[in-house]
Chains A and B, each alone.
Chain A
Amino acid sequence: MKFKRRAFLKISGAGLAFAPGLLLDAARKLDLAADGHRLVVLQLSGGNDGLNTVVPFEDDSYHRSRPALAIRKPQVLRLKGTGEIGLHPSMEGMRKLHDEGHLAIIQGVGYPSPDRSHFRSMDIWHTADPEVKDKNKGWLGKALEAKAASLGGLHIGAGSLPLALHGERHVASIQNLDFIELLSGSKGRKLKRIMRSVNSTPRAGRPGFVQGLANETLDSLEKIIEASKSPAPVEYPETELGRRMKLAGQMVTGSYPARILYLSQGGYDTHARQAAVHTTLLGDLSSSLTAFYRHVEKADVADRVTLMVFSEFGRRVKENASLGTDHGCAAPMFILSGKAKGGLHGSNPDFTKLEGGDLQFTTDFRNVYATLLEEILKIDSRKLLGMSFEKLPLFS
Chain B
Amino acid sequence: MDEELAVSKRLEPYRPGKDGPWDYSAAAHLARRMTFGAPRGLVEKILAAGQAGAPALLLADREETPEMKAVADSQRGIGSTDSVQTWWAHRMLRGNSPARDKLALFWHDHFATSDAKVNDARLMMDQVRIFLRDGPGQFPSLLWAIAKDPAMIIWLDGNSNRRGKPNENFSRELMELFSLGIGNYTEKDIKEAARAFTGWHVKNREFWFNRRAHDTGTKTIFGKTGDFIGEDVVGMCFEKRESCEFIAGKLFDYYVGTPVSRELRKALGELYATSFRNTGVFLAKLLSSREFYSAPARRAIVSSPADFAIGTLRTLGATAGADRLPAEMSRMGMDILRPPSVKGWQKGESWLNSSTLLARYRFASMLTSDTENSPRIPWDRIEKGKAEGLFNLFFPGGLDERIRRLVEKEAGQDLKLMVTAIVELPEHQYI
Contact = CB atoms under 8 A, between A and B. Distances in A.
Most central of B340, B353, B361 by chain A CB within 10 Å: B353
Contacts of A175: 331, 355
A271 B333 contact: no
A170 B417 CA distance: 28
A195 B358 CA distance: 10
A45 B342 CA distance: 13
Nearest to B333: A159
Contacts of B421: 194, 197-198
A206 B259 CA distance: 14
B219 to A, nearest CB: 18
A144 to B, nearest CB: 15
A173 interface: yes
Contact of B157 (A206, A208, A221, A271): A271
B407 interface: yes
B349 A209 contact: yes
Interface residues of B, number: 52
Interface string A151-188: 00001001111000000001111110001001000010
B401 to A, nearest CB: 10
Contacts of B353: 155, 160-161, 171-173, 213
A391 interface: no
A182 B157 contact: no
Given A159-B333, A201-B403, A210-B426, A195 B361 contact: yes
Given A116-B187, A159-B340, A320-B167, A217 B354 contact: yes
Interface stretch (A117-125, A233-241, A288-296, A331-339): A117-125
Most central of B176, B351, B356, B426 by chain A CB within 10 Å: B426
B182 A210 contact: no
B420 interface: yes
A182 B365 contact: yes
A65 to B, nearest CB: 14
A37 B365 CA distance: 39
A306 interface: no
Nearest to B420: A194
B426 A207 contact: yes
Given A160-B351, A195-B424, A182 B358 contact: yes
B402 interface: yes
B48 interface: no
Contact of A322 (B157, B351, B429): B157
Most central of B182, B300, B349, B400 by chain A CB within 10 Å: B349
Contacts of B427: 207
A198 B354 contact: no
Nearest to A179: B358
Given A160-B333, A172-B354, A117 B299 contact: no
A175 B345 CA distance: 17
Contacts of B294: none
B430 interface: yes
Contacts of B429: 207, 210
Contacts of A120: 182
Interface residues of A, number: 50
A326 interface: yes
B184 interface: no
Contacts of A220: 354
A74 B365 CA distance: 58
A387 interface: no
Contacts of A117: 172, 176, 182
Contacts of B299: 206
Nearest to A166: B350
Contacts of A214: 357, 426
A326 B167 contact: yes
B413 interface: no
B64 interface: no
Given A161-B350, A197-B410, A321-B160, A174 B355 contact: yes
Interface in A300-356: 320-322, 324, 326
Contacts of B351: 160
A146 interface: no
Most central of B157, B352, B353, B354 by chain A CB within 10 Å: B354
A23 to B, nearest CB: 20
Given A210-B357, A322-B157, A201 B167 contact: no
A216 B353 CA distance: 10
A208 B162 contact: no
B165 interface: yes
B169 interface: yes
Given A194-B410, A197-B410, A209-B349, A203 B167 contact: no
B274 interface: no
B425 interface: yes
B365 A187 contact: yes
Interface string A188-231: 00110111011111010011111101101100110000000000
Contacts of A173: 353-356
Contacts of B164: 321
Contacts of B187: 116
Contact of B362 (A182, A190, A206, A217): A182
B218 interface: no
Given A182-B361, A220-B354, A119 B343 contact: yes
A175 B331 CA distance: 9
Interface in B356-391: 356-358, 361-362, 365, 369
A197 B409 CA distance: 10
A272 interface: yes
A217 B357 CA distance: 8
A278 to B, nearest CB: 15
A197 B426 CA distance: 12
B336 to A, nearest CB: 14
Contacts of A200: 406
Nearest to B403: A201
Interface string B289-331: 0000000000110000000000000000000000000000001
Contacts of A160: 333, 345-346, 350-351, 353
A322 B167 contact: yes
Contact of B341 (A118, A191, A193, A199): A118
17 contacts: A120-B182, A155-B353, A159-B345, A160-B345, A171-B353, A172-B354, A174-B355, A182-B361, A194-B410, A198-B403, A198-B406, A198-B407, A198-B426, A208-B426, A210-B357, A214-B357, A320-B160
Given A160-B350, A201-B400, A324-B157, 8 more contacts: A120-B182, A160-B345, A179-B362, A206-B430, A209-B352, A214-B357, A321-B167, A326-B167
- Give 8 nearest A-B pairs by CB, closest first: A322-B160, A321-B165, A210-B426, A207-B426, A217-B354, A173-B353, A160-B350, A160-B346
Interface of B: 157, 159-160, 162, 164-165, 167-169, 172, 176, 182, 187, 299-300, 331, 333, 340-343, 345-346, 349-358, 361-362, 365, 369, 400, 402-403, 406-407, 410, 417, 420-421, 424-427, 429-430
